[in-house]
Amino acid sequence: MVRFLVDGMLGTLAKWLRIAGYDTKYSPRWDDNELARIARAEGRVLLTRDAELARRRGLQSLLIEEGDLEQQLAQVAQAFGLSLDHPFSRCPVCNAPLENVPKAMAWGQVPPFIFKTQDSFRLCPECNRFYWRGTHWQGMCERIRMLARN
């Protein structure tokens, strides 16, 4: 599976690649030299809007030409033949793999209404965020389906 590194101008793209299940490192604080070092050291594909950075030797990179998120996702999906075998498996905030947890673990950690109405929870072991299928779930699924069609 392709692993990505995303430059500081593409944070929303990084989040959605994580939601799609792809190991995607991102920090708005990394400069070009740090991005190049990480990409080389970890064998990651660098996604960037910086043409000069994309041309650096020894980097596997993709110059993101589009400004619209849907078009960015389509460009990455087409360039790397992304499959969507593991959506919603990574934390969109910190990139760690999510863990299925018993409902009881969510007690006191999520709003009472959510605890009452949801049966399935996932937990990020790194940043301790809980995830569940909320009202936004259908919209996220549709965006993921669009990515799969490209």
pLDDT tens for each residue of 105-121: 999 999 999 999 999 99
Question: Is position 137 within any domain?
Answer: yes
CA distance 82 to 150: 9
Residue 148 — pLDDT band, cuts 50, 70, 90?
Answer: low
pLDDT (0 to 100) of residue 140: 85
Question: Is position 66 within any domain?
Answer: yes
Query: Is 68 found in the same domain as 14?
Result: yes
pLDDT tens digits, one per residue of 40-72 = 999 999 999 999 999 999 999 999 998 899 899
Specify the pTM: 0.91
Query: Is 103 found in the same domain as 60?
Result: no
Query: Is 103 found in the same domain as 75?
Result: no
DSSP 8-state secondary structure symbol assigned to residue 44: P
Question: Is position 12 within any domain?
Answer: yes
Query: Is 73 found in the same domain as 10?
Result: yes
Question: Is position 87 within any domain?
Answer: no
Query: Is 103 found in the same domain as 135?
Result: yes
Q: Where is 78: in which H helix or E strand?
A: helix 69-80
pLDDT (0 to 100) of residue 85: 77
Average pLDDT over residues 18-34: 95
- Calculate the average pLDDT of the chain: 92
The total number of structural domains that make up the chain? 2
pLDDT (0 to 100) of residue 76: 93
CA distance 145 to 86: 12
Query: Is 65 found in the same domain as 8?
Result: yes
Residue 19 — pLDDT band, cuts 50, 70, 90?
Answer: very high
